[in-house]
Amino acid sequence: MIFMTKRSIFLGLVLPLVASCSLNYNTASQVIPAVSASIFGVDDIDVTDEMIMNRRLSFVKINFGKSSVGLMSLLSISSNNVYEWISEDDVRIYTFNGKIIKTLNLNSGGVSIQNGTAFLEKEVDGIYDINLHQPEAFVTQDYSISKELDESGNILIKEFVKTNGFKWEYTNTYLYSDELVPIQSEQEIHPNIPKVKLTFYFKNN
C-alpha cells in the first residue's frame, strides 16, 4: 500500500508537465503558471451585483472545466432566437434555449449542430447532426430528454447523448427559471474541450 501526500502528487505531475511544456515556454515564470493551472485550476470569476449593474449588456460567464474562465457579452439575437455571445478576443458562441449549438474561433476545437434549434421544441428523443472542427468530422448523436424541478422550483433538464460511430457518451444539464429563462448549463461540445459551463446574466436593455 502506497500513500501519496499532496507534495508527492504535485512533484509527480510537475516534472513530466515541465518537460512537455519546455518546447512551448521560454522561461520558468511561464511554465509554473501553466503547470499550476493544469493541477489546481484557475481562479473563478466572482460575478457581483455591482459587476452586473455596471455592465451595459447581458452576458455569460463561461468556464471550460477548471482550466479557463471568462465573460462573453451578448452581441445579437437572431430571428429564430439564437443568441450570439462574443468575448474580447473574438471567440463566439451561439446558444438556443441555453444550449451551445455553434462556436467560432476556439483554439482547441469547435462545433456546429446543424439542427440545434430543435432543442426543447419537443421534449422527446431525437438525433443531432454535428460538424466537429479541429479535427474535422461529421457525426450523428442520439439524445433523450428528462425534466424535473429542483429544490428551488427551477426547471432542470437533463440531456442524455450517445454518439454514433465512436465512444463519446455524456449527460448535459440545463437549469431554467419557472418562465424557462436559462440560468445555467453544463455541456459537452467537443471531445478535445473540457465540459463547458455557462452562467447567464440577462439585463433588460
Q: What pLDDT digit, counting tens, does each position of 162-175 carry?
A: 999 999 999 999 99
Least confident of 36-50, 120-134, 191-205: 36-50
Query: In residues, how long is the chain?
Result: 205
pLDDT confidence of residue 155: 95
pLDDT confidence of residue 123: 67
Parent domain of 36: 6-40
Q: 29 in a domain, yes or no?
A: yes
* Nearest alpha-carbon partner for 198 in 62, 71, 84, 69: 62
Q: 130 in a domain, yes or no?
A: yes
Specify whether 84 is located in the same domain as 150: yes
Specify whether 18 is located in the same domain as 97: no
pLDDT confidence of residue 24: 35
Specify whether 30 is located in the same domain as 79: no
Q: Is the pLDDT of residue 180 over 80?
A: yes
Specify whether 159 is located in the same domain as 85: yes
How many domains is the chain built from? 2
Q: Is the pLDDT of residue 16 over 70?
A: no
pTM: 0.79
On average, the pLDDT of the chain sits at 81
| Residues 197, 138: Cα–Cα separation, whole Å | 24
| Residues 203, 181: Cα–Cα separation, whole Å | 12
**Mean pLDDT of all residues in 91-101:** 95
170's enclosing H/E stretch is: strand 169-176
**Mean pLDDT of all residues in 25-44:** 45
